[in-house]
């Protein structure tokens, strides 16, 4: 634990804003934050909420990988919903990858509702800015 810094706030939430690699401000709240210097990652644990211009994501835990500029969220399931009134969607998956261009990958028991479309698949790739959706 030499290069690991752990911050615990119990009931209080810690908030961090990631602006460097992301197109828009990304706000992350969680009960516990771990900065891991040797892997250049930040772990978010306990009731994670991510808010951006386009999406809100709720998960049990998340890892921000500064090298790849991606946030990996895990939950049972993790939930995603729209933050825009003119672009309504919601979805869930065991894992959500949130990229610096705000595209998202829903992985594992993934489902999403967008406008009049409902889709279920193991992997759903979605761009909340354009509404483009695909599945593998």
Which is more confidently placed, 54 or 16? 54
Counting the structural domains of the chain, the total is 1
Q: What is the pLDDT of residues 103-117, one digit of tens each?
A: 899 999 999 998 888
102: tokens are: 């705000």
Contact status, residue 28 vs residue 18, Cβ threshold 8 Å: yes
Residue 88's domain is classified under what CATH number? 2.60.450.10
Where residue 8 falls among pLDDT bands split at 50, 70, 90? very low
Q: Which range has the top average pLDDT, 5-14, 55-64, 124-133? A: 55-64
| Residue ranges making up the domain that contains 37 | 4-135
46-50, 56-60, 127-131: the lowest-pLDDT one: 127-131
Contact status, residue 120 vs residue 107, Cβ threshold 8 Å: no
Contact status, residue 54 vs residue 26, Cβ threshold 8 Å: no
Please state, for a pLDDT cut of 90, what percent of the chain lies above it. 47
Q: Residue 40 carries which DSSP code?
A: T
pTM of the model: 0.80
């Amino acid at each position: 634990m030499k290069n690991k810094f752990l911050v615990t706030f119990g009931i209080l939430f810690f908030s961090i804003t990631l602006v460097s690699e992301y197109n828009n401000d990304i706000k992350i709240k969680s009960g516990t934050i771990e900065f891991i210097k040797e892997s250049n990652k930040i772990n978010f644990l306990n009731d994670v909420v991510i808010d951006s211009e386009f999406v809100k994501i709720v998960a049990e835990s998340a890892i921000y990988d500064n090298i790849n500029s991606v946030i990996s969220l895990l939950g049972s399931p993790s939930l995603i919903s729209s933050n825009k009134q003119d672009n309504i969607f919601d979805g869930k998956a065991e894992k959500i990858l949130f990229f610096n261009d705000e595209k998202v990958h829903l992985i594992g028991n993934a489902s999403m509702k967008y406008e009049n479309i409902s889709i279920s698949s193991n992997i759903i790739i979605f761009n909340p800015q354009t509404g483009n959706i695909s599945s593998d």
